[in-house]
């Protein structure tokens, strides 16, 4: 008996019990769809997180106070504007391209009774290039603004929407930030939320203005302290060299002993590795949960095939009496179980893609920068796994059918 004939006979057998076959296929459809959808969500989450990290530049370093892996360091010194200035020395740090110290606090933006709780960030002009900032309107903070402690601000679109109900024509308007009047000189391009917070709900002011007019943000022991220093290496290949140069500068300035650094230099690669590890575990976890549904579908196939063997005992006996070999009966039932699994797998892939597509549309409608990714690896995995499930759970019923004795089978009532 050739393969084509086997498939046709299997389809005819499955078609004779449409409801039962349909319910069995449904179990596989749900399992495969769950695997496809869950892996798509996991891959989408990974792509979104890694994209937001890469969006700030692969050659970006973060310098902040405190030893991340050394609990023996007590009362670490804060990083300061002086530290940031020292990192700009091209002789001490030739692999550093730009340095942008940042100081931030929270406050309330107000305009004619409209208020918005926001993050106030004190920055230097270098922040614009280091953080890949783009403007919807106006201009960014200049060196003259910083030196003059100017009362100017660049606001995010969420702040603009809350205070004015619009995003254009705002340059020149005056708002109050925690009671202090500032003039708007620019509006940030909307970016949405990311792993580093929402730039849309920020107000950027000169760092000197924040230090002078928001004195509560400055510790008395270090009036020029900053929260973090963004450092841009000359390119991705010099990140390690730039890290070593920055570390040596800070060790000299902070007078720390060997192995007692009171600061941390964090690179994009460190963040990427951590994010990939977390999202990878998440994807495996989601895929494992979905695979349970596929396992349940496989048990359904075995159950239905056992029922089929019982119902077709006399048919099996007649075939054997007419010369059918044990191998023929075995292959016949394996083909039937594989077809059930294959049909369920194909429908499940389409259904899983539809679920992922729907999740992406819902995420876009709610303003989240998240797109599920249905990869070829997920489709291949689901297809192979569903076929394997059909074969595995069809072996026992097929072997049971093939092992029936012709005389006993023909006598079966």
What would the DSSP string read from start to end of 11-31? Answer: HHHHHTTHHHHHHHHHHHHHH
Last residue of a domain, one of 203, 236, 261: 261
- What is the rounded CA–CA span in Å between residue 356 and residue 379? 13
Determine which of 71-80, 225-234, 309-318 has the lowest per-residue pLDDT on average. Answer: 309-318
pLDDT at 317 over 70: no
Apex 175 CA angle, 173 and 178, nearest 5:
165
Nearest CA-CA partner of 125 in 94, 101, 157, 104: 101
- What is the rounded CA–CA span in Å between residue 213 and residue 151? 9
Instruction: Tell me, yes or no, whether 39 and 127 share the same domain.
Output: no
Q: Is residue 9 part of a domain?
A: yes
Query: What DSSP state is assigned to residue 158?
Result: H
Instruction: Tell me, yes or no, whether 13 and 44 share the same domain.
Output: yes
pLDDT at 236 over 90: no
Mean pLDDT, to the nearest integer, of 144-153?
92
Instruction: Tell me, yes or no, whether 85 and 227 share the same domain.
Output: yes
For tokens 């010369």, what's the residue? Answer: 323
Which one has a higher pLDDT value, 238 or 307? Answer: 238
Q: Is residue 268 part of a domain?
A: no
Instruction: Tell me, yes or no, whether 250 and 287 share the same domain.
Output: no
For residue 77, the model assigns a pLDDT of 82
> Please, which pLDDT band fits residue 195 given cuts at 50, 70 and 90?
very low
For residue 141, the model assigns a pLDDT of 93
Instruction: Kindly report, residue by residue over 89-134, the tens digit of the pLDDT.
Output: 888 889 998 999 999 888 899 998 899 999 999 999 999 988 888 8
Last residue of a domain, one of 231, 261, 291: 261
Instruction: Tell me, yes or no, whether 239 and 320 share the same domain.
Output: no
Instruction: Tell me, yes or no, whether 93 and 147 share the same domain.
Output: yes
How many structural domains does the chain have? 2
For residue 153, the model assigns a pLDDT of 93
Instruction: Tell me, yes or no, whether 199 and 301 share the same domain.
Output: no
Residues 6 or more apart in contact with residue 388 via CB below 8 angstroms: none
For residue 99, the model assigns a pLDDT of 92
Which one has a higher pLDDT value, 292 or 155? Answer: 155
Mean pLDDT, to the nearest integer, of 304-325?
68
Q: How far, in whole angstroms, is CA 334 from its chain's centroid?
A: 40
Q: Is residue 61 part of a domain?
A: no
Q: Is residue 26 part of a domain?
A: yes
In terms of residue numbers, what domain contains 325?
Answer: 3-53+273-411
Q: Is residue 209 part of a domain?
A: yes
Instruction: Tell me, yes or no, whether 89 and 214 share the same domain.
Output: yes
Q: Per the structure block, which two tokens stand in for 5?
A: 């004939």
Highest mean pLDDT out of 178-182, 212-216, 252-256: 178-182
Half-sphere exposure of 42 (CA within 13 A, CB side): 24
Instruction: Tell me, yes or no, whether 96 and 160 share the same domain.
Output: yes
Q: Is residue 60 part of a domain?
A: no
For residue 265, the model assigns a pLDDT of 85
For residue 57, the model assigns a pLDDT of 55
For residue 1, the model assigns a pLDDT of 55
Mean pLDDT, to the nearest integer, of 281-300?
73
Q: Is residue 245 part of a domain?
A: yes
Q: Is residue 101 part of a domain?
A: yes
Identify whether the C-beta of residue 215 lies closer than 8 Å to the C-beta of residue 208: no
Instruction: Tell me, yes or no, whether 127 and 15 share the same domain.
Output: no
> Please, which pLDDT band fits residue 4 given cuts at 50, 70 and 90?
low
Count the neighbouring beta carbons within 10 Å of the beta carbon of residue 276: 14
Instruction: Kindly report, residue by residue over 5-48, the tens digit of the pLDDT.
Output: 666 666 666 666 777 777 777 877 887 888 788 778 777 777 77
Determine which of 203-207, 265-269, 317-321 has the lowest per-residue pLDDT on average. Answer: 317-321
Last residue of a domain, one of 215, 241, 261: 261
Instruction: Tell me, yes or no, whether 100 and 243 share the same domain.
Output: yes
Instruction: Tell me, yes or no, whether 93 and 205 share the same domain.
Output: yes
Which one has a higher pLDDT value, 332 or 176? Answer: 176
> Please, which pLDDT band fits residue 155 given cuts at 50, 70 and 90?
very high
pLDDT at 307 over 50: yes
Determine which of 21-30, 48-57, 201-210, 347-356 has the lowest per-residue pLDDT on average. Answer: 48-57
Mean pLDDT, to the nearest integer, of 69-76?
62
């Amino acid at each position: 008996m050739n393969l084509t004939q086997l498939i046709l006979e299997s389809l005819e057998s499955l078609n004779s019990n449409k409801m039962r076959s349909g319910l069995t296929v449904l179990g596989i459809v749900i399992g495969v769809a769950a695997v496809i959808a869950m892996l798509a969500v996991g891959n989408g989450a990974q792509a979104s997180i890694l994209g937001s990290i890469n969006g700030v530049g692969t050659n970006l370093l973060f310098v902040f106070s405190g030893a991340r892996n050394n609990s023996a360091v007590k009362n670490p010194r804060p990083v300061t504007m002086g530290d940031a200035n020292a990192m700009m020395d091209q002789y001490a740090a030739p692999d550093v391209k730009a340095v942008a110290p940042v100081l931030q606090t929270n406050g309330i933006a107000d305009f004619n009774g409209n208020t918005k709780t926001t993050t106030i960030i004190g920055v230097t002009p270098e922040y614009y290039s280091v953080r890949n900032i783009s403007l919807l309107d106006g201009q960014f903070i200049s060196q003259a603004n910083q030196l003059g402690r100017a009362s100017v601000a660049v606001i995010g679109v969420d702040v603009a929407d809350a205070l004015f109900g619009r995003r254009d024509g705002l340059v020149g308007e005056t708002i109050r930030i925690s009671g202090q009047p500032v003039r708007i000189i620019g509006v940030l391009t909307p970016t949405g939320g990311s792993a580093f917070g929402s730039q849309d709900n920020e107000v950027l002011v000169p760092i000197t203005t924040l230090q002078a007019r928001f004195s509560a943000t400055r510790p008395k022991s270090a009036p020029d302290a900053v929260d973090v220093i963004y450092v841009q290496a000359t390119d991705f290949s010099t990140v390690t060299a730039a890290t070593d140069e920055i570390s040596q500068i800070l060790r000299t300035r902070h007078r720390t002993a060997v192995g007692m650094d009171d600061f941390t230099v964090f690179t994009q690669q460190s963040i990427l590795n951590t994010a990939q590890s977390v999202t990878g575990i998440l994807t495996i976890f989601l895929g494992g949960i979905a695979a349970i549904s596929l396992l349940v579908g496989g048990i359904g196939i075995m159950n239905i095939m056992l029922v089929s063997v019982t119902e077709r005992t006399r048919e099996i006996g007649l075939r054997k009496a007419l010369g059918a070999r044990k191998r023929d009966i075995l292959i016949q039932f394996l083909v039937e179980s594989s077809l059930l699994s294959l049909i369920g797998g194909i429908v499940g892939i389409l259904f899983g893609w539809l679920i992922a597509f729907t999740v992406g549309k819902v995420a876009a409608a709610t303003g989240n920068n998240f797109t599920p990714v249905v990869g070829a690896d997920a489709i291949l995995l689901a297809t192979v796994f569903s076929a394997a499930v059909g074969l595995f759970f069809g072996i026992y019923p097929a072997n049971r059918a093939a092992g029936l004795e012709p005389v006993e089978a023909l006598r079966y009532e």
